Structure 1
Amino acid sequence: MTYFSKSTFFKSAMCVALSILPTLSFAYHIQITEPAEDRAYHRPAQSIDVQATVSPTLEMGYTTAVLLNGKVVGDGLTASVPTIDLVAGEYTLEAIVMDKNAQTVASDTRTVYVIQNNQIQRKKRAAIAEREAYDNSSIWHKIAVGLNPKVQAPPKVYESTPTWEIRDLPNKPNK
């Protein structure tokens, strides 16, 4: 029977442990803490602010990212997505942990909704209708408007006009 001294056994155990350590894969857990599931955001006024947590602490070479419908919108555990560039509808947020080979090892998803601010759309349609009525009016009406310092011609508003320009239009009282 062969006996090993304590120091020889300890050195052998350390060599085995060090040779196995690089092949170990850590089990990560990532969780989206903000926004809440099924949250609705008003377009274009709100941004989607995403926050996530991961445990345990990431090892060297591991990274995190935030995705919106599969496209990266932020590196790390936080991101802010402006809704002005999004159309109204359902979106999937995903927070992921990637290993050194860019393979996803952990993920969490949330569904959020972007809704259109209908007040701005109504204001836009009313401004378009008012401008069309002015454009279709007689030349004498346009001259009268031009000569009266208290009355202005309605602004040129089209379907392609950005909503931020519409927001700055004065509110007209309902007739």
Structure 2
Amino acid sequence: MTLLAKPSFLKGKIRVALWTTVALASLCTSLTNAAPIYKVVDEQTGQVTFTDRPQDYEQQAGKQVSQMAITTGDETSRSTSLNTTTNSSTSRQSSNASQTVTATESPAINTKVTTPVNYQLVITEPSEERAYRRPVQNIDVNVQIKPALQAGDSARIYFDDKEVAQGLSASIATVDVLPGAHTIKAVIQSENGQTLEQITRTVYVIQNTTTLQDNKRKAAQLLAYQKLAWYQKLMLKLRQQEVAQSQ
């Protein structure tokens, strides 16, 4: 029994020694990787150099070497940290790119839907079908609208499909209007030119017979005066002056 126990005891001691050796080797490796950093100052130029090999500068004249309170990190840890940082940065960039693409593909839509206004138009002047004597009378047009014009909408007045005014009132001279029936039209248009509401009224233009006859008489008198000789015109002018003085 004693002989059998000794080999087991020896194996246990060998195993402990082996683990101790491995631990010391790991510690030495860590100490080797975690080397201290030294600061080297050139006393002449003031240039500062950092190194983990102070022996390269200790033998040089004019070099002041001092140990820093930091050490070099483990290469494996630094590599892992670098990879982690790189992966994190890549993930952030991918996330930002994804957000940018999403924002580009799905822009915010802010569409304002407007309901057309139901306008009511009334031509207050002329309030009914009416006749106007040419050329002494003008056709005055007045329009009322409810509700008030909205932004972008406009009111226009037409005479025989020809625009004569923008707004709710107009005055149309009959001197250039031929006798006969004519149409007044008030229109409400949207900003894009769409007709929202309209109303029409028929008017008549007649020739003023009295005025026409008077104009003809004056034209005949002028023509007769122009045919007179110069002395006849002079005598006629003197006679008119005498009549004016007697009155």
| TM-score for both structures, normalised by structure 2 | 0.47
Partner of 1:129: 220
Partner of 2:231: 143
Is 1:51–1:79's contact at 8 Å kept on the other side of the alignment? yes
1:30 partnered with 2:118: no
Q: Percent identity?
A: 35
Aligned length: 131
* One-letter amino acid of the structure 2 residue matched with residue 146 of structure 1: L
1:86 partnered with 2:174: no
Is 2:225–2:233's contact at 8 Å kept on the other side of the alignment? no
Query: How many angstroms does 1:135 deviate by?
Result: 5.3
The RMSD of aligned alpha carbons is 2.4
* One-letter amino acid of the structure 1 residue matched with residue 177 of structure 2: L
Is 1:145–1:151's contact at 8 Å kept on the other side of the alignment? no
Equivalent residue in structure 2 for 1:106, among 197, 202, 210: 197
1:44 partnered with 2:132: no
- Summarize deviations over 1:77-113 as a string: whole Å, max 9, x none: 1111122222222110001100111121100000011
Is 1:31–1:107's contact at 8 Å kept on the other side of the alignment? no
- Summarize deviations over 1:28-62 as a string: whole Å, max 9, x none: 22121110222111222222111111122222101
| TM-score for both structures, normalised by structure 1 | 0.64
- Summarize deviations over 1:123-166 as a string: whole Å, max 9, x none: 122233334445566x5xx63442351159xxxxxxxxxxxxxx
- For 1:62 and 1:135, locate their aligned partners in 2 and report how far apart those are by CA, in whole Å: 58
Partner of 1:170: none
More helix by share: 2
Give the greater-gyration-radius structure (CA): 2
- For 2:134 and 2:196, locate their aligned partners in 1 and report how far apart those are by CA, in whole Å: 33
**Greater relative contact order (Cα 8 A, min sep 6): structure 1 or 2?**
1
- For 1:124 and 1:71, locate their aligned partners in 2 and report how far apart those are by CA, in whole Å: 30
Structure 1 unaligned blocks of 5 or more = 1-17, 153-175
Partner of 1:54: 145
SS in 2 for 1:85: coil
- For 1:62 and 1:144, locate their aligned partners in 2 and report how far apart those are by CA, in whole Å: 67
* One-letter amino acid of the structure 2 residue matched with residue 107 of structure 1: Q
Structure 2 unaligned blocks of 5 or more = 1-109, 242-247
